[in-house]
Amino acid sequence: MTTRDIQLDDDGRLRHLLTIEGLKRPILTDILDYAENFAPGPGQSVKKVPLLRSKTIANLFFEASTRTRTTFELAAKRLSADVLNVNINTSSTVKGESLLDMLRNLEAMHCDMFVVRHSRSGAAHFIARHVAPHISVINGGDGSHAHPTQAMLDMFTIRRHKGDFTRLRVAIVGDILHSRVARSQIHALTTLGVPEVRVIGPHTLIPNDAEKLGVHVFHDMEAGLRDCDVVIMLRLQRERMSGALLPSEAEYFSCYGLTPAKLALAKPDAIVMHPGPINRGVEIASEVADGPQSVILEQVTNGIAVRMAIMAMTLGRHRGAESGESEGGT
């Protein structure tokens, strides 16, 4: 690799969160531990904390998203930050030039953090490389590349249910090829010590050389789910039907949809996850999505706590457990 990780500052602390790849286990553990502070226990209400008072966070959404933007916004507000939502019609900013001009304008408004969602892989890195030194960039999803906050909230949810990452078998099912969520999950799971990560889907939706990401590839869902502790279903974009990637939703569901019968092949206490929004009857049956093993809504709740932790850490108020020293491991 050419340069040091631009995500870290000179002291090795998290400055931007662009991708999970390359982050060491203590930093990930640090995020999960810190997020515990913001996650209410059963029956507790969430308190607003003054950690980011007088900070301004701009949500730059070049791609429509209600859920992710809302949880980022809630997280920022609970940290007492001012929030600016900027929805940008991508067609008006196809030129990198105007994208940079826009960043300069927002910098001039004294923003401290950009949360970026963009349809192109590498957009968050591009922006991080061009912002003023005091600004932190959080990747809220870039193309098919990465969605690190989603992956961290998933790790948080898994840890709450399963405790020890180093004994788990995790399956990720569906459109791996186009999924930024899957890529970030794979990096997070392998970094946190999960010994076996499986990806399940038809060859058209799994990248060639996927094994080099450290996963086992299965085209047969029954075989892939056997004895798994965690089953992560991915959303299937409707447009995949048009690109000769799949024949039909019905055939996809019959091969790769999660039904109670298929779930029964996983461990009895396996949890079912989904980054949402779910397509009932396409990738997951309603009985499973709403069933006792599903933690899908919990993921949403945890998303706020984890994003609070990441925002607080990157804006430098949290000195953390001095990530360099503390050996990770839960």
Binding site for other proteins (CB under 8 A): 1-3, 6, 19, 21, 94-97, 99-100, 118, 120-123, 125-126, 130, 142-146, 178, 180, 183, 207-210, 212-213
- DSSP element (H, E) containing 169: strand 169-173
CA 187 → CA 25, 38, 74, 91, 212, distances in Å?
Answer: 10, 24, 26, 32, 11
Q: Judged by CB, which is closer to other proteins: 48, or 104?
A: 104
- DSSP element (H, E) containing 116: strand 113-118
- We find the least distance from the C-beta atom of residue 325 to other proteins, in angstroms, to be 27
- We find the least distance from the C-beta atom of residue 130 to other proteins, in angstroms, to be 8
Could you tell me how far CA 71 lies from the centroid of its own chain?
Answer: 12
Beta bridge partners of 114: 58, 137
Rounded to 5°, the CA angle 163-151-225 comes to 65
Q: Judged by CB, which is closer to other proteins: 6, or 84?
A: 6
> How is residue 270 written in tokens?
């396996």
Q: Judged by CB, which is closer to other proteins: 23, or 32?
A: 23
Contacts of 51 (CB under 8 A, 6+ apart): 79, 80, 312, 317, 318
80 φ/ψ sector (left φ>0, alpha ψ -120 to 50, else beta): left
Q: Judged by CB, which is closer to other proteins: 49, or 213?
A: 213
- We find the least distance from the C-beta atom of residue 146 to other proteins, in angstroms, to be 7
- We find the least distance from the C-beta atom of residue 97 to other proteins, in angstroms, to be 5
- We find the least distance from the C-beta atom of residue 20 to other proteins, in angstroms, to be 11
- We find the least distance from the C-beta atom of residue 168 to other proteins, in angstroms, to be 22
What residue spans of the chain are helical by DSSP H? 25-36, 67-78, 96-108, 123-130, 148-162, 180-191, 221-225, 249-256, 260-263, 286-289, 296-314
Q: Judged by CB, which is closer to other proteins: 47, or 212?
A: 212
End-to-end CA distance of the chain: 30
Q: Judged by CB, which is closer to other proteins: 45, or 208?
A: 208
